[in-house]
Amino acid sequence: MPEGAPRLSWRPWRSLARGACFALALVAGGAHAEGCTEAARYGAPTDRYAHGVLGDAIEWGSLTIERAGGRSVTVTLPPDRVFEDVAPRLVDLGPEGCRAVLVVETQAQTGAQLALYGADGVKLAATPHIGQPNRWLAPVGAADLDGDGAVEIAYVDRPHLARVLRVWRYSAGRLTEVAAAEGFTNHRIGWDYIAGGLRDCGAGPEMVLATGDWRQVVAVRFDGGLTPRALGPYSADRMARALDCR
């Protein structure tokens, strides 16, 4: 039995640390109906997928979804899959009221995909796998990025190699890619966290990322296309200040 990843207290999504137990909602809201998702956590640590992009040999073999009313559901992945992730995230997908769980799920031969699970443990939607082993993606955030009423989900595809920012829209139970642009990143090999995230400084949501060469912190707006704006030379402090609208 492999040793578990370090167990850290939960943190907001924009600075989730590896091993964090519980997901935190990304969009503030009121109470949810009985049976809806309240929290989620990974379990069943495993070393069956030897990638180690997050700094150790341990990934996760299960996802437990805590539901309102005290019930829980556990998703156990088959041996060729793992959750290659820092922590699950709760996302509000629209007016239905129940939140979904957003995860990075990896298949041994085809690499990572972004996936959404419902409160019943059923996979609602997913992006395609990247297409080969040891290829990963790093989530940025989920929100209505362009004000059209639908939720967009953003991630960096292969943040150490391709460095492509991708935006997918969730609608009618499906994820559809709506934008992509090269030259962005939010993770270095070995980090047990994902840098950057979403902010709203009063003019709508923006994605806070680094340029692909790690020289600049940028705010990227989605308005049908992806429009970056430089915020200054990269540093961890500048990234944190940018997320706080400072």
Do residues 121 and 162 both lie within one domain?
A: no
Do residues 144 and 195 both lie within one domain?
A: yes
Do residues 64 and 157 both lie within one domain?
A: no
* Residue 6 included in any domain: no
Domain that holds residue 209: 136-245
Of 30-34, 111-115, 179-183, 195-199, the one with minimum mean pLDDT is 30-34
Confidence (pLDDT) at 35? 83
* Residue 89 included in any domain: yes
**Beta-bridge partner residues of 37:** 67
* Residue 27 included in any domain: no
**Beta-bridge partner residues of 181:** 165
* Residue 77 included in any domain: yes
Prediction pTM value: 0.88
Cβ-proximal residues to 4 (8 Å cutoff; 6+ apart), any chain: 19, 45, 58
The conformation of residue 14, written as its DSSP 8-state character, comes to: G
Do residues 140 and 124 both lie within one domain?
A: no
123 vs 142: CA distance, rounded Å: 17
Confidence (pLDDT) at 30? 40
Share the mean pLDDT of the chain. Answer: 89
The owner of tokens 């990234």 is: 239
Judge whether 59 and 84 are in contact, CB under 8 Å. Answer: yes
Do residues 168 and 67 both lie within one domain?
A: no
164 vs 183: CA distance, rounded Å: 6
132-171 pLDDT tens trace: 999 999 999 999 999 999 999 999 999 999 999 999 999 9
Q: How confident is the model at residue 55 (pLDDT cuts 50, 70, 90)?
A: very high
Q: How far apart are the first and last CA of the chain?
A: 45
- When pLDDT is averaged across residues 205-230 and rounded to a whole number, the result is 98
**Strand pairing category for 197-200 and 111-117:** unpaired
222-231 pLDDT tens trace: 999 999 999 9
3-37 pLDDT tens trace: 444 423 233 444 344 443 444 444 333 445 668 99
Count Cβ atoms below 10 Å from residue 27 Cβ, excluding itself.
Answer: 14
DSSP structure string for 65-81: EEETTS-EEEEE--TTE
- When pLDDT is averaged across residues 172-195 and rounded to a whole number, the result is 98
57-101 pLDDT tens trace: 999 999 999 999 889 999 999 999 999 999 999 999 876 668 999
Residue 191 clears pLDDT 90, i.e. is over it: yes
Confidence (pLDDT) at 2? 46
> Distance between alpha carbon 230 and the CA centroid of its chain, in Å?
23
Do residues 94 and 154 both lie within one domain?
A: no
Residue 233 clears pLDDT 70, i.e. is over it: yes
Count Cβ atoms below 10 Å from residue 95 Cβ, excluding itself.
Answer: 6
Of 18-32, 44-58, 229-243, the one with minimum mean pLDDT is 18-32
Do residues 101 and 147 both lie within one domain?
A: no
Q: Which residues of 56-76 are buried (b: 16+ CB within 10 A; e: fewer)?
A: bbbbbbbbbbbbbeeebbebe
Indicate the number of domains in the chain.
2
